[in-house]
Structures are given as C-alpha cells and as structure tokens.
Amino acid sequence: MAAGGAGEVRHWNAAVNGVSLHVAEQGPTAGPAVLLLHGFPELWLSWRHQMAALAARGFRALAPDLRGYGDSDVPADPAVYTIFDIVGDLVALLDHLRLPKVFVVGHDWGSQVAWNLSLFRPDRVRAVVALGIPFFPRGPRLTEPYAALGDRYYIVQFQEPGRAEKAFGRYDVATVLKKFYSIEIDELVAPPGVEIIDFLQASSSPLPWMTEEELGQFAEKFQKSGFTGPLNYYRMLETDFKLTAPWSGAKITVPAKFILPKKDIGLKSFGTEQYVKSGDLKANVPDLEIAIIEGHHFVQQEQAERVNTEILSYFEKFITSEKASA
C-alpha cells in the first residue's frame, strides 16, 4: 500500500449505544480502517505512535476513549460497564461510520475487548492483533484463579466500590498513573494489608518512553473523568462471566496475531506463558500468529517501532492478498 503523510490527529465525538464516545482519528478516511482499543489506565493517546505509523502507510486509524475514560461519557451506574456494553459501543461506532468490517488492535483491557468483539461479531473483524493478554476460553468459574492470591491481588482490591478510589486519592493523579506505568514486577500482588497503589513505586525519573508533557496529558484527562469508570470494568467481571455463558468453549475464528512482551506482568500467573508457548492458545485461536518481543506491559509505547512493524506487516498481508484476488 502506498505510503503517505500521516496528517494531523482529528478529534470528534459520536453518540453511540447510549453514550458519547470520543474518537481520535488519523490517516485517510478512505483507507482501510484500524480500530485501536486502549487498556487500563490509559486513553486513545496510548496509541499515538501506532496511529502515526498506520496513517503514514495509508490506513485510517481510529482510537476511541472507551466508555468511562477521557473525553467519552462516564456513566455513573457500574452495571453499564459489562463486556456487552463495551463491545456494543464499538459495533455502534462502526455502524455510525458505515464500516462493515475493520482491523482491530487491543492492549491490556483493550485486548479483552478486541477478543470479545472478534468472538461476538466475527463478521465485523477483518483481523485482530492483541498485545499482552491472550484469548482465554471461558472456564468453569471466574474467581477460582484469584482465590489463592486473596485480598492482596489487585483485581480483588478493585472489586469493592470506592476502595481503590480512596487509596488512589492519597496521591496526585500523575503519580497514580506513573505508579502503574512504571510497573516492572512479575505480579500485581501487594503485601498483606497493603493497597496495591501504596505498594507500587513511581519512577523517580521521567519514563524513557513517555515525556512529562505526555504524562501531563493523561493526568489532565483522568483528573476530569476519574478512575471509577475504568475500575467498573473490573467490578463487572463476575457479571461478564455469567453473560458469556453462551460462548463457553467457543474459539476465535478470525485471523489473529498475539504479541507477547517478554517482561510483561503476570506471565507466570495462571500459567499464561506456558499457555501461549505450548500451543494451547493456538488451539483456541486456530488462525493465529505469535510474536514474542522485548518489552514490559505498556509495550506499544515502550517498544513503539517494533510494535508498529508487527502490526503493519500483519495487516498489509491482507491488503496485498485482497488486491491480488481482486
């Protein structure tokens, strides 16, 4: 596909599925669309490097702030943060844009959403790239893997309404974000009786992959929108488990690529690394490529050029193939 100028990032909001979603867009509107889905605690801005690279190669990069984040609506009711609501927002966004089918990229929670979009609506996904979080088929019980870790585990701490918000409130917003962005530990598990945010350490120097100005941009948005919306994603996990019963045992049928950073959080948790490397992931995602690369959790920012190459080389194969068969 012909390379061209990336152009400016365009910002707009759309009323979809009962909420207003903010979307950042870059690249030609006639180009193949790529939907970029951020994680926790992030924003559309997490994809700034990928958006520019995709746009320069002629793709149309679309990076929404997911519901509860940034300049998108932050509904007060935690019950409207289920995986059905989040995926529903994206399907409605594609309908709004009259896009029958798109490429999808997700990171962290965005990977969970990308996998579920591919699971629920494979007719809308040309191919999916997931960073950090592999597809796990629905198991017999959601909470069983957390039981051994108990209250020290961050997801358990996030369940109680107001608990994490109160703990986060002991710090300014930029420090909360930097504590998460600085993570290089194996597991998000605090010592007994300690809140995870108190246990995490913020780097004393600027992050090598994020300027202080960029950190300030993230902090400004979270100062406005708060953390309750994002935390509600975790609080709906049990509900999500119940809602997804019809997809128990279902596989991902769309073409997929999984990018695993070698130093990501939780590779040993619940046998994740073994699951990916043993072939079990491929059994659940038959049309799968796997790339294992250097980097920590926020890999699309830390190792931007490598991630750009992995995404572009994968999606461009589909463009070339479609042109050849046209």
Tell me the catalytic residues: 108, 234, 297
Distance between CA atoms of 197 and 82, rounded to whole angstroms? 24
Instruction: Report d(CA 25, CA 30) in Å as an integer.
Output: 12
Closest among 45, 54, 65 to 26, alpha carbons compared:
54
The H or E element spanning position 95 is helix 83-96
Under DSSP, the state recorded for 290 is E
Pairing between strand 102-107 and 19-26? unpaired
CA angle, residues 265, 245, 112, in degrees to nearest 5: 30
- Whole-angstrom distance, CA of residue 129 vs CA of residue 107: 9
Is the N-terminal amide bond of 41 cis, ω within 30° of 0?
yes
Classify burial at 150, counting beta carbons within 10 Å of its beta carbon; exposed 0-12, middle 13-18, buried 19 or more.
Answer: exposed
DSSP type of residue 104: E
